[in-house]
Structure 1
Amino acid sequence: MAKCGFDVNKCNRSMLGRGIYFTDNVVKAYQYTQPDDGGMCCVIMARVLLGDFVVATNHSDIPSTSIQPPCKKCMSTVCKKETGTPHPRFDSVVYTGGLNKEFVVYDNWHAYPEFIIFYKRL
């Protein structure tokens, strides 16, 4: 990851679809860390370009099957426009429905790992 960055193709489907998830609270990130055999964990501090984002206050606002952010016109992740040029999409999703904000990008180039922090839980 330090050499190649994030890869959305390696992401599993999750609450707001298959994207790369970030938070501005290390406690939230801590929930997803698993220690290795030596007890070491790591957290990645990343720079994330949200661009033109949409705010989701409920996890049902964005289907878990999404592979891209919603359309700016119809707010659907599967745009209803059938002919011609597709409607523009938001660049990312900001989820505010939980205790901590979560930021989801669906494109590898919207984020890069800046620091990889290794630590042991006490």
Structure 2
Amino acid sequence: MASVLCQNGCGRDCGKGADGRVFPTCCKSCAYLKKERGLCGHDIDCDIRANEAVCPPWYWKSAAVWPEPFHEEVGGEYVKEMGTKILQRRLPDWKVVRCERIEDAVLWDKYTAKRAQLRERSVAKANIQPETAESIQYSANTTLDHRVNEVWLLHGTSEEAAKAISHSNFLPSSGGCFGSGIYFADDARKSNQYASRTAEDQKIMLLCRVALGGVKVLPEGQDRSADRFAADPSIDSILGTTDAKEFVVYDSAQIYPEYIMYYQEIGTA
């Protein structure tokens, strides 16, 4: 039987149900976005079927030039409002005054290759619902691959480090409450402790995609030798709890630093 193309004109094959029924569109996201925004965009399942989910998210400006090399830092009111919503769950007196989305072909290629590797390994689904998930728009959440425990998490840092990370990704810290690794939180108060001020008296926080893979959940309290779990091929990250949840990964390929948020106390902006 010849393939039937999505009626939205995106060029992808129509989706099929488990019973073999052919749907009029490739996925629900494509139908929703065509109706609401007049553009084609796809959920993670559709991306996996079409190209193993190596193409950039539909909302990236640079998606139109992929697979050509690119690095763009894209601002806008949408990302600023989203960042403020995430922050104000825990820091109600702060707001994002500028937010840049990092669109980098090299970092995205490395990230999606690692994500596909985790998918192929069929990691166990973790019962984790980060606080950040409640502040991300529905259509953006559909680009997350929950089969590899992909989430958005926060990381407080300096402007200089954020710019370096946006081009070359993270370097593991030498130690912390859970040993060496790359640390994230889902609570803005926790990440705010590590955020540095700029010359304009703003602070910096990254909002990153993180493919947690196989997650080892630790008992509450510090474990400064928890990086011993990095030697276990079934464990790709750990989740520990101190005054907040802390997520630690060991391989920077599991991270895509998607947003740089510049934020400030209300009344000082």
Higher helix share: 2
Query: How far has the Cα of 1:49 moved from its partner?
Result: 0.9
Q: Which has the larger radius of gyration?
A: 2
Residue number in structure 1 paired with 2:235: 90
Residue number in structure 2 paired with 1:99: 243
Judge conservation of contact 1:23–1:102 (CA < 8 Å) in 2: yes
Query: How far has the Cα of 1:68 moved from its partner?
Result: 5.7
- The equivalences for 1:1-122 within 5 A come to 1-8=165-172, 11-57=173-219, 58-60=221-223, 62-63=224-225, 66=227, 69=230, 71=232, 88-96=233-241, 98-122=242-266
Higher strand share: 1
Cα distance change, pair 102–45 in 1 and its aligned pair in 2 (3 A) = same
Q: TM-score, normalised by structure 2?
A: 0.35
Judge conservation of contact 1:19–1:67 (CA < 8 Å) in 2: no
Query: How far has the Cα of 1:89 moved from its partner?
Result: 4.2
Query: How far has the Cα of 1:30 moved from its partner?
Result: 0.7
Judge conservation of contact 1:67–1:106 (CA < 8 Å) in 2: no
**For the aligned residues, what is the CA RMSD?**
2.0
CA distance in 2, matches of 1:36, 1:43: 12
CA distance in 2, matches of 1:103, 1:55: 9
Aligned residues: 101
Q: TM-score, normalised by structure 1?
A: 0.72
Amino acid at match of 2:210: V
Gaps of 5+ in 1: 72-87
Question: What percentage of residue pairs aligned between the two structures are identical?
Answer: 31
Structure showing greater relative contact order (alpha-carbon pairs closer than 8 Å, 6 or more residues apart): 1
